[in-house]
Amino acid sequence: MGEEREAAREAEIGRIREEIDRLDEQIQALITRRAECARRIAEIKKEAGDAEAFFYRPEREAQILRRVLERNRGPLSDEEMARLFREIMSACLALEQPLNVAFLGPEGTFTQLAAFKHFGHSIRSRPLPTIDEVFREVEAGSVHYGVVPVENSTEGMVSHTLDRFLNSPLYICGEVELRVHHYLMAVGGRIEDIRRVYSHRQSLAQCREWLDAHLPQAERIAVESNAEAARRASRETRAAAIAGEATAHIYRLRILASNIEDEPENTTRFLVIGRQQVPPSGNDKTSLLLSAPNRPGALFRLLEPLARHGVSMTRIESRPSRRGLWDYVFFVDVEGHRSEDKVAAALAELEREASLFRVLGSYPRAVL
């Protein structure tokens, strides 16, 4: 009986494998036709003498991915299905124009992950040691795009990216979000034995409630990066680090607690920078650089047109200006594309009021 069941199972698996083989053949035929279509579009654009940088169309990719997600009914997760389509698009694009993408290195960082998440793996990626150099390479045209952190909860380099836009003609062409989890890790032992917790200042802040509840006795020591925190914890017996999961493996630390961030949807955000103004995708954001005259209530008045035209502000951050003309500059993200009527109307009013006004870019909202 057992043997019969075994034989029936084997036969069933054999039938399913044959079906997989047939499916693979069809998938391949369709991917091939898709690549031929992409090549044909590139040929038409080349005949028309279009600039090379514009083979890549961020708004079109965002639209395709949104449709992929709308159609997805499982069993593959939305993340996995989106990933496969990003890779298919990446391969088709590379046929005609392999994209060169610079990112804030070194390899193995979240920024590299973000670059691959956005562009797929058929790109030539180039790690650079500073945000400034990523901007310079894109400005010089030696790469097509750059990827830089802008709200980076673990590496703390937010401000420099925004400041750099003050002196750059580049546009924001896209945003990438990565979900980031924090882990408490140590050489060994129990949570209650921990006397010191090392981490980057921002990570410590993001886990404050958890630390208050579980490690009230431990000293919190801010260090320059989470990797440095792990390195220190690996050399002490009663110390722990807060860092990402991969870091624990690198430094051979045991994970004592997982997902200890107070805000479970803790994401890190990256910007794709380029020389291209992206047309609307149907679900976009617009980033602005503003400065108000230095008068009481000036900022409030400055932002009033956004409210009046029903444009939602998703983020505002003030930065001390380095130019001397303004005390502060503001980085503002709003919902919608600059070509949409209400956004255009609000921006026109804003521009009249602001002493400094620049649209850093309209770009598709991050898809997943």
> Which residues of this protein are in contact with a second copy, per CB under 8 A?
6, 9, 12-13, 16-17, 19-21, 23-28, 30-41, 44-45, 47-48, 60, 64, 67-68, 71-76, 80-81, 83-85, 87-88, 91-92, 94-95, 105-108, 112, 121-122, 126-129, 133, 246, 249-250, 252
Distance CA 90, CA 105 (A): 21
Residue 255 CB, shortest distance to a second copy, in Å, is: 12
The residues pairing with 328 across neighbouring beta strands, listed in sequence order, are 320
Q: Measured from the CB atom, is 7 or 213 closer to a second copy?
A: 7
Q: Measured from the CB atom, is 16 or 348 closer to a second copy?
A: 16
Q: Measured from the CB atom, is 68 or 272 closer to a second copy?
A: 68
Residue 360 CB, shortest distance to a second copy, in Å, is: 26
Query: Would you give the DSSP letter of residue 52?
Result: G
Parallel/antiparallel/unpaired status of strands 284-291 and 328-335: antiparallel
Show Cβ contacts of residue 277 under 8 Å, excluding neighbours closer than 6 positions. Answer: 171, 361, 362
Residue 109 CB, shortest distance to a second copy, in Å, is: 8
CA distances for 25 relative to 18, 20, 32, 33, angstroms: 11, 9, 11, 13
**E strands along 53-194, which residues?**
100-104, 124-128, 145-151, 171-179, 183-186
H or E stretch at 250: helix 245-250
Q: Measured from the CB atom, is 25 or 224 closer to a second copy?
A: 25
Q: Measured from the CB atom, is 94 or 306 closer to a second copy?
A: 94
Residue 110 CB, shortest distance to a second copy, in Å, is: 11
Residue 130 CB, shortest distance to a second copy, in Å, is: 10
Q: Measured from the CB atom, is 12 or 224 closer to a second copy?
A: 12
The residues pairing with 357 across neighbouring beta strands, listed in sequence order, are 290
Q: Per-residue b/e over 124-160, b at no fewer than 16 CB within 10 Å?
A: ebbbbeebbbbbbbbbeeebbbbbbbbbbbbbbbbeb
Residue 55 CB, shortest distance to a second copy, in Å, is: 12
H or E stretch at 241: strand 239-243
Q: Measured from the CB atom, is 137 or 163 closer to a second copy?
A: 137
Residue 122 CB, shortest distance to a second copy, in Å, is: 6
